[in-house]
Structure 1
Amino acid sequence: MQFHVDSYTREYINKTKHHLYIKPAAPLKKAVAHYTITFPNYELPVSDEPTLQLIPDVSGCFVFDFARGRIKVWGPTTKVVGVANDLNTYPCRFFVEFLPGGLYQVFGKSIREMVDQEYELKNLNYNLYDLIHTQLSKITTFDELVDLMDKLLCQEIKKHPIESPILDQIEHIYSQHIIQRTSDIAHTLGKSERQLNRCFNKYIGLSVKKFSKIVTINHLIKDMNHKNLLDLTFDYSYFDQAHFNHVFKEICETTPTEYIENLSDFYNEFYKF
């Protein structure tokens, strides 16, 4: 089974030379960041580097492999993930890119054990996998696939809501670019730091500190195109450039300078942040 990118005919967030980003249905706005279609573009060259480095995004995703009839599930990532750079040698792929907490709303289980892990959807939620797999044999366009995923995911997230005060704080951290203090958030919610971290580990798989640190790096990367490293150091409240370099390398496994020099070898989820 193969889908062609041109079979998606509706509005989208953005289209690049190899990616089409699509907004999910409104009820999914707190669970799904976007759908992504990747497609070959034989008129444009791609990097000669055989591996593409994915920056950690603390969210997770579904990856549809139409050729093999598989749907993979990536848990939230806290490490750089290397994937084959096959954009011009592989047919279209389809991704469901979740927001932090989105995987919990689909599976209703602690996300802690899913961090930096890869699964088959049929082993995590067979009913959902079976519904998708059965319908895939009946549809031929990405328009229909987006409608199907909107419908099925809307049904799933109703079963496993996240308590509003916690979800509000997750969203607040995700939308900010300054590392948040666990003690401040715990005080706001009337919880101990231990209770708060237990909630964050359950819903998104990470402690408050780790989550905030990775989110901040992702926001910072978006600013690299128009700010120098010294300005970024102070804009993002690092103690000094040595501290900034240390945290950046901890998350991205390379220095900021090396990252800028090798941009084509990295992929960052700009439309999640």
Structure 2
Amino acid sequence: MFFDDISIKEHLKIGENPNQIYIAPHPLLRKYIAHYTISFPDKDEIKKGSECITDLTLIPDSSGCIIYTYENNKISSSIWGATTKTVIVKKDFDLPKIRFFVEFMPGGLGVISGIKQSELCDIQTEVGQVSKVLEAALYRAMEVSNNVDDLIYMVDTIFLRIIEKNKSQHEVITSALDIIKFTNGILTVKQLSSENYVSERHLNRLFNEYIGVSTKTFLRLARINYSMNLFKKYDYKSCLNISQVLGYFDQSHFTHDFKHICGVSPDAFLKNMSDFYNESFKY
């Protein structure tokens, strides 16, 4: 079982911290999967016990993930659809459990699952409730892999085979996502629909089906996630500067969107950044 060996080839790593390793998927999967993540316990935190457990607020990013957890010699799974609301989880690195995450790009879970994504929006359930075949294949990979390199190869193979069978991402969605990534979401629904030569109504229908949220919601989530990355990267002290960069009419409109999505004001976020997590690899 791969949990006996968490070492991994350096060329596959795209980031790491004391409790997590971020791993690149196969190049043909990077359009659909942002990264794999291995999280493991901190021996120093285990010694401290439950007193070190704190909350971590996950910022919605309108994409899904699959999580496999190894604890007490048992493997369990869960799947999350596109998120539009913050989710609070425990920083439980003090517990003897290891997790393997598949973090999808927006729309990636739709291609893998073949399910209309609005049906999974803000839903958390077992992988088997979405696909028993996928659940069995991933469970097998967890069970027989000898190390992380083996696991990544097996999981890559599973997803590559699924993509070969499933229909590819809708060309309009592919184009729209590329434009949004290039502009960091700083454009209107009207501009995006015009760029793709479709009506706003049709574009919205496609976003609900393939992404799981409306076009307007996705653009708002993209802007706010981008703003959080700017806060972290450039150590902005003024929300006014951020709101101007993001094309907001004024600071109050930016603050309204930020609080609506994150549950706190930008100022509160800046004071407690370590209590929040957003996906820097997706935006």
> What TM-score do the two structures reach when normalised by structure 1?
0.93
* Amino acid of the structure 2 residue aligned with 1:55: I
Among 85, 107, 122, the residue aligned to 2:113:
107
**In structure 2, how many angstroms separate the alpha carbons of the residues matched to 1:38 and 1:160?**
32
Aligned-pair CA distance for 1:164: 2.1
Within the alignment, does 1:244 sit opposite 2:254 as a pair? yes
Aligned-pair CA distance for 1:195: 0.9
**In structure 2, how many angstroms separate the alpha carbons of the residues matched to 1:177 and 1:49?**
34
The answer for the alignment partner of 1:38 in structure 2 is: 39
Aligned 8 A contact 1:34 1:96 in 2: yes
* Amino acid of the structure 1 residue aligned with 2:103: E
When you count helix as a share of all residues, which structure comes out higher?
2
Aligned-pair CA distance for 1:213: 0.4
Aligned 8 A contact 2:23 2:37 in 1: yes
Within the alignment, does 1:153 sit opposite 2:159 as a pair? yes
Within the alignment, does 1:7 sit opposite 2:15 as a pair? no
**In structure 2, how many angstroms separate the alpha carbons of the residues matched to 1:270 and 1:223?**
10
Within the alignment, does 1:269 sit opposite 2:279 as a pair? yes
Change (3 A) 1:138 1:173: same
Higher mean Cα deviation, 29-38 or 60-69?
A: 60-69
The answer for the alignment partner of 1:231 in structure 2 is: 241
Aligned-pair CA distance for 1:16: 1.2
The answer for the alignment partner of 2:265 in structure 1 is: 255
CA deviations on 1:24-62 (whole Å, 9 max, x unpaired) are 001101100001111223357999463211011111100
**In structure 1, how many angstroms separate the alpha carbons of the residues matched to 2:97 and 2:20?**
12
**In structure 2, how many angstroms separate the alpha carbons of the residues matched to 1:209 and 1:254?**
21
Aligned-pair CA distance for 1:4: 4.8
* Amino acid of the structure 2 residue aligned with 1:104: G
Aligned 8 A contact 2:141 2:155 in 1: no
Q: Mapping of 1:60-139 within 5 angstroms?
A: 60-67=64-71, 68-139=74-145
Q: Secondary structure at the match of 1:254?
A: coil
**In structure 1, how many angstroms separate the alpha carbons of the residues matched to 2:275 and 2:248?**
26
Change (3 A) 1:22 1:175: farther
Aligned-pair CA distance for 1:271: 1.9
Q: Secondary structure at the match of 1:34?
A: strand
* Amino acid of the structure 2 residue aligned with 1:180: L
* Amino acid of the structure 1 residue aligned with 2:20: H
**In structure 2, how many angstroms separate the alpha carbons of the residues matched to 1:47 and 1:205?**
38
Aligned-pair CA distance for 1:174: 3.2
Within the alignment, does 1:166 sit opposite 2:173 as a pair? yes
Q: Secondary structure at the match of 1:272?
A: coil
Higher mean Cα deviation, 68-77 or 167-176?
A: 167-176
**In structure 1, how many angstroms separate the alpha carbons of the residues matched to 2:137 and 2:154?**
9
Aligned 8 A contact 1:64 1:72 in 2: yes
**In structure 2, how many angstroms separate the alpha carbons of the residues matched to 1:95 and 1:47?**
26
CA deviations on 1:139-160 (whole Å, 9 max, x unpaired) are 2211111111100011112213
Within the alignment, does 1:213 sit opposite 2:214 as a pair? no
Q: Secondary structure at the match of 2:169?
A: coil
Change (3 A) 1:198 1:74: same
CA deviations on 1:201-260 (whole Å, 9 max, x unpaired) are 100011111001001111110111322312111111111111111110001000011111
Unaligned runs of 5+ in 1: none
Q: Secondary structure at the match of 1:270?
A: coil
> How many residue pairs get matched?
273
The answer for the alignment partner of 1:19 in structure 2 is: 20
